């Protein structure tokens, strides 16, 4: 379980970090090499989910979506200095519950 959580966090950070570097390049005029590094990080994001032990591709990527939402709220708070409001936290908590149900509820 801890390996799965680690991989979800690592993939989420790669997706957000890579996308952020591309954003900085294309929207805020940062150097081109920011975008190149961002693209390479996004390639790593595509590889990291394949390391999960879960056998179902759709379920793994759906769960990443929930984790991504939580990490994006935290990224916005810590990096962009946009303080999340109560509705951001409620939405993130709902996503976390959904991800947990999808991945860890016993199935027959």
The residue whose two tokens read 């056998």 is: 55
Backbone φ, ψ for residue 5 (5° rounding):
-65, -45
pLDDT value for 45: 93
The whole-model pTM stands at: 0.81
Distance CA 43, CA 36 (A): 11
pLDDT value for 54: 79
pLDDT value for 63: 82
pLDDT value for 67: 86
Number of DSSP helices (H) and strands (E) in the chain, helices first: 4, 0
Structural domain boundaries in the chain:
2-104
Walk along the chain (108 residues) in steps of 10 and give the mean pLDDT of each run.
Answer: 87 95 96 97 94 83 86 93 96 91 84
pLDDT value for 105: 87
């Amino acid at each position: 379980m801890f390996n799965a959580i680690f991989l979800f966090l690592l993939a989420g950070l790669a997706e957000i970090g890579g996308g952020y570097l591309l954003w900085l390049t294309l929207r805020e005029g940062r150097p081109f090499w920011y975008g190149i590094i961002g693209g390479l990080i996004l390639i790593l994001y595509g590889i990291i989910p394949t390391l999960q032990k879960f056998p179902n591709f759709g379920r793994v990527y759906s769960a990443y979506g929930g984790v991504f939402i939580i990490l994006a709220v935290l990224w916005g708070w810590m990096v962009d200095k946009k303080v999340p409001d109560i509705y951001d936290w409620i939405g993130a908590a709902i996503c976390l519950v959904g991800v947990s149900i999808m991945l860890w509820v016993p199935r027959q």
